[in-house]
Structure 1
Amino acid sequence: MNNAPHQPPSTRTRVRRLAEKAHYESATLYSIVDDAYCCHIAFNQGESTHCIPTACWRIDDYLYIHGSNGGRLTKAMLANNQVSVAITHIDGLVLARSAFNHSMHYRSAVIYGAFELVTDKQAKIAALDAFMDKIASGRKHEVRQGNEQELAATSVMRISLAEAASKISNKPPEDNEEDSALPVWAGVLPLVTTRGKPVPANNGAIPVPDYVNDWAR
């Protein structure tokens, strides 16, 4: 990615449909990735095409995922397959005066490239620590760390964010001029993700740690 908002990093990242909604600068991409807990990875494998959801997080200019060594996604990523990674946040439903002009508020990103395996042990541990921080900052200092067997059974992979495009839609309804006088309510129905009250497991006698209360706030 780069800081030139109108310059796609490659031909396949150029947004063609509603190009005015495209963003190519890294700051926008990072914010979309950082707000996501899940991405969808599409890839071709032989005669089949798959799209698999998985947890994700970012470190610098890379998107990270992890998986079991024997899993289909892990095997496919380690075969150096070219992939497309999609992230979408729906922020609202846009109600226009005509059915055809209804739309959504959204922030999305599509990333192209191939995943690479994180082979250095310390880099792998650091990446998993960063994932734990994304889930709940401070959690990594309290839980049991992964042991040698667990680490060996887990693959950590990353893909560069250098070839990516973002797309944002956040405008009010855009009605045709001939529909503007129709006696129909038009507007936006916002959709917001909120954090709920933590629900303890079977160890409710243990006080809720500060970082959990902070997360809920």
Structure 2
Amino acid sequence: MKATLSPSLADDTPDRIRILVADDHVTVLEGLVAIIGRQPDMNVVAAAVNGREAVDLWRKHRPDVALLDLRMPLLDGVGAIEEIRPHDSGARIIILTTFDADADISKAIKAGARGYLLKDAPREELLACIRKVHAGQTSLSPELVTKLAAGLSSVPLTARERDVLTLLARGRSNKEIGGSLFISETTVKSHLRSIFTKLNVLSRTEAIAAASQRGLVKL
């Protein structure tokens, strides 16, 4: 089944956040398209009913933000992220789902999701998540951060690692972190490897979420 959009929604509009939405439940999909489409700063450019179609439409439209269901036929949300990221490692993707198991959250974040939101979240939270991810930030609800941070290593971070982590949470690149702290990018990468090990995480996004839960940074 192909999802369709009205011409008014499908048209690109300057200065709006261009969004791809994917969900195999048509009623949910249409509801999301309607909610997002009413926002003055957002525009739904494509809608998909399975993961394979989501990847194809992402390649065609290159949206600013993709909102993907976790469980979809042909290709799930994590699989879709893994196919999209080789084309754009900075792709801004949000997983929207009814599932909040630790493994689901961790897999999505490790795959590269910038946000993870439950389908029963208030409309305002959904829209705020889209805007936050579009701005280059990470968006996880406090409840999901708690789940993700379970079982963290108790090895403390050094003062320098805390500095690096703080700048990382502010969206700074390795080069920018190095410039702010007067250290080389190689040293920054070394600190990040140590931080990832101590926090028991595999990605920058996951490190920020875990550090926030431990009170090391504020999102």
Instruction: Flag the structure with higher helix content.
Output: 2
TM-score bracket, normalised by the shorter chain, equals under 0.3
Instruction: Flag the structure with higher strand content.
Output: 1
Bigger CA radius of gyration: 1
Q: Could you tell me the TM-score, scaled by structure 2's length?
A: 0.24
